[in-house]
Amino acid sequence: MSMSKYGFSALGRSFTAALRGFCHCVKTQRNMRIHLVAAFHVLALSGFYRFSKAEYGLLLITCALVMGCEAVNTAVEVLADGFCPRRDPTAGLAKDIAAGAVLVCAFFAAVVGVLLFWNLAAFGRMAGFFARYPWALLVPAATLTAGLVWAMGAPGNSIKKRKL
Ligand SMILES: Nc1ncnc2c1ncn2[C@@H]1O[C@H](COP(=O)(O)OP(=O)(O)OP(=O)(O)O)[C@@H](O)[C@H]1O
């Protein structure tokens, strides 16, 4: 009984730590906020599509992969800046490689996006919906503007502010 109590508290602590790490990425990384805004709008747009469960799964895995990779990239930047506060070729190369991993994921996420969302029938449904309810265009306009202001306006990469 006490074992499970300690097991659960350890699990709770590691979950809290993971959440703290993710919140740190959102607060300090502009790119992570851009990924979140993009994921929100892509999922909202998917309402016009008749995706199967497998297609939704692919969409969610793609979003998770890009954001997970961005979090690992941030971890590499934090480690490199923490252990090599001065310019160092190894730290620089590690950062380049981590950024390259994000780039690969983002490129293939864009390919998955085109494969899933390029659908003339869905474009027709969207056009029909917004022709019937033109005021509804205000919703994506407002959420996109608010999302971009949040993503770009909040403090950028705190790591960048360190003097190298
Ligand atoms: N300590 C360092 N030593 C050598 N080069 C560095 C160092 N820190 C950064 N660089 C170089 O500058 C680039 C940008 O580093 P920075 O820490 O600003 O990442 P970033 O622009 O925030 O990346 P991302 O957009 O992926 O979050 C690195 O990819 C690397 O080439």
Nearest CA, atom 8, ligand 1: 92
pLDDT of residue 57: 97
Decide: residue 91, CB within 10 A, 0-12 exposed, 13-18 middle, 19+ buried: buried
Mutate to test the pocket of ligand 1, among 95, 97, 164 (most ligand atoms within 8 A of CB): 95
99 Cβ inside 6 Å of ligand 1? yes
**3-class secondary structure for the chain?**
CHHHHHHHHHHHHHHHHHHHHHHHHHHHCHHHHHHHHHHHHHHHHHHHCCCCHHHHHHHHHHHHHHHHHHHHHHHHHHHHHHHCCCCCHHHHHHHHHHHHHHHHHHHHHHHHHHHHHCCHHHHHHHHHHHHHCHHHHHHHHHHHHHHHHHHHHCCCCHHHHCCC
What's the CA gap between 109 and 115, in Å, rounded? 10
In this predicted model, what pLDDT tens digit does every residue of 112-161 receive, in sequence order?
999 999 999 999 999 999 999 999 999 999 999 999 999 998 665 554 44
pLDDT of residue 8: 80
35 Cβ inside 6 Å of ligand 1? no
CA of 96 to the centre of ligand 1 (A): 7
Please report, for the chain, the start and end positions of each structural domain, with discontinuous segments joined by +.
30-155
**Would you say residue 3 has pLDDT above 80?**
no
Pick the CATH number of 30-155 from 3.20.20.70, 1.10.287.3610, 3.40.50.2300, 1.25.10.10: 1.10.287.3610
70 Cβ inside 6 Å of ligand 1? no
**Would you say residue 11 has pLDDT above 90?**
no
In this predicted model, what pLDDT tens digit does every residue of 30-59 receive, in sequence order?
999 999 999 999 999 999 999 999 999 999
